[in-house]
Amino acid sequence: MQRVSPWVFGGALAITLAVLYSVCAAVFAAAPSATLEFFNAWFHGLNLAGLQAGAKPFTFGGFLYGLAGLTASGFAGGAIFAGAYNLLLRWGRV
Domain ranges of the chain: 6-93
Reported in sequence order, the residue ranges of the chain that DSSP labels E, i.e. its strands, are: none
**Contact present, 25 and 74 (Cβ < 8 Å):** no
pTM of the predicted structure, to 2 decimals:
0.79
pLDDT bracket for residue 86 (50, 70, 90): very high
pLDDT digits (tens, 9 = 90+) for 17-68: 999 999 999 998 898 888 888 888 888 777 777 766 565 677 899 899 999 9
The span from the CA of 82 to the CA of 94, in Å, is 19
